[in-house]
Chains A and B, each alone.
Chain A
């Protein structure tokens, strides 16, 4: 029993780490010769990937998976809320400037 659980944790960790490494790939595709360029696609996908990671941490590491429904919904709502705030401030800020 415990081994299956720990394998699950290992897989979760591997997924999180590979998502982190995906950033390196993103970074390499967008930058040319070390000069950074603004990119809405990169910004939005960086935020979205980070929030997916946050949700995985909530569900798996923090064991919300086994928690009562209200906590599942609350944490999901929170991820959505954070996403709305971050993307909202990014787009509103871009529109203003």
Chain B
């Protein structure tokens, strides 16, 4: 298909490179340098999709980020990407796009029926209905509404693209490469500052690409090209296009998303699609420019109605005519540039200017070109459904309230200009205040909160010379503060056309008897009448208006609608706009890819994985792993087609019968050193530590100040001033911070150092009746007898020449030892233990068997010490020293903690000795009473007792001690189990603890 709307030569596109693409299944072609939007317009396509609520036809209203709609579904690289903005998407060979939010297709959309029902669907209608019958909202109405909502479609498949992050520091970050951005960047860079210049669009230069001005003796564009080229060559400058600074965060941290491959057909697998820059800037220059405001009139959302600045950009940048019978409808001079541009390209525009006849450079030029200008004229209504066919226009009275006789003129586009709104989002995000500027009827930054300076039209300066003067000045002053250099450039002189004053008028009154919808928010279909209803119903705060009507809550975040909305509210409420106030700007300025925010921490790498030195041995030996915090631990070692239950039972039995070995490297280890180490331990543990002899270990419990158990473990006195503390795997990091807190803040007088040695030592727990024999063979020259190495004893020795530490401690309740060697030797130790252990039928055991063993011994662990239990609850109160003070002791007196109703740990055995009690069950007196069924307590841990070959559980129940012997029920409604049980002591096996001492 030929490009009927493509101009002969105008534009910055590369006409030597044709690009073919598809839209809604139809093939077209455009040129390199086109956006999808410009290429479609060149092909005469204006209908891009359907609006959110009424499913009205939507066309292109802007030429970039300002477009309030233009969302398509893009197919790139076999990925279907939702909600891509056609006015920003650059054209690439083979691009495919589809309209969204329409069915069966964009030309005939069933949803369009809403448009005819629209009088029944005013703002907030859904709050007033869909309430009967009761169940219908969720079952009938809501699913229907959900189906109609949403735009693009996203598949379930993961994202194949790559996203990366980059942390940068600079002196000046400049956001936008328009005249003011270029000027500040250039003068700062020349003054020695480290500068980052970010431009959202592919091309640098901003308004200079389309405005007809001269800077020095060059055209605006030539000047921009020259400056950019020079900046790119400077070592202290980073220049980025396709880079949007979307967020201004605390302490001058700004975030920029750089699009690296979206303009290409596809990318190699190592180049990220986007790079997210975290930029910590000493100073920020906000040169984000301004966005043209729409004028509001009947059916102003019809495709073919668009911003006059966009029409100009399509001509000058893309060489595309948005129409051949244009109407320019304006309240200010800038639209005349568009009119003149049309004329230069052989198209005769009609200009409707709401102002009384006046004169200015531009108006003179327009007249001299013979352009038809109608002053005091407005567009009343746009006719046409899928595309503008004609406009109803009329003369308007001085006071802008009454319209003259309606005339109809044929046209194929209406270019509107309601003056300019500075883009102050970043300035506001920084926490800076804004003020309303009566001159331009818009907000501009006032006092800045962080180190930011706003320049150019973003600061409400629409005159190029002033803009350059202030920007050069800003770049110089800000850089001088940082570099202390003093290289000031002279500002080039500008030849530009002087503008006459704009007209504050922006909304055309309805002609008598007409109910035209006059739209403010084109995506969410918010019309003037909706705002009126909201206020009529008392939703008067601007936030209420916004939420009730959804004004400015669409994906464009109200870039073109918010200010007109404010104007309207201020008119109705008869307040000044600043009294109405605007809703706060929050990041992101434009929607930003979630993938980019996350970066590379995805899939398996969403969190780090910690591994023990024996990890690969476990892998080779069919270990099934379990997450313990960030650690991976063997849960059991699978043999054949064993289940978890079989394997853990086998492993646990083997520990009770022979000997087993378990990787305990992950247990936290902390070296506590110093003259005051003993005193320190005495304060952090609940029991006494001053008299622990060298070469001995002791079990200890730590509390939080609120009296809840924090952690437990054994600590060994290695030498006079040196203790080796162990913690649980889960609490290791917290305990270290906890200890540092008390040493550095609470008890600075103590001379103690704590450092984590968790990874210095590989640990193997050797447990079982045959563990001593095995140990003796592992350490032939060491006396491993009960006398030589008694319970809670500790010795340093050598394992086949490798330095080793042996602790005689037991978690399993069996005769057991823990051997530590330096981590590089961990695997060597492990293989030796297995090799020599074979004759004792050694088996490695995982965490599942480990918990079986500890449960039937009644040793508490994480499932009991869950951050809610006290030493009393867990039968650790024996370890509460009466003599000395310690962390959390004062809380032990709390009424609830000592009350007899308090829950206490007990053992639970099913009466049938067969049925396992699911963890998380509750113990109750009566299984069949009506709900709510009063609970005595919960089952914290369950196992199959390998000692007695029947199920056994630990539970924490009210008045536990006196419950022993009672017959109760364990209920698990989730698994609908009701199990008759007997309460027994939590120490099910070896209550006297003889084995560990044997």
Chain A complexes with chain B: no
B residues with a Cβ closer than 8 A to A are none
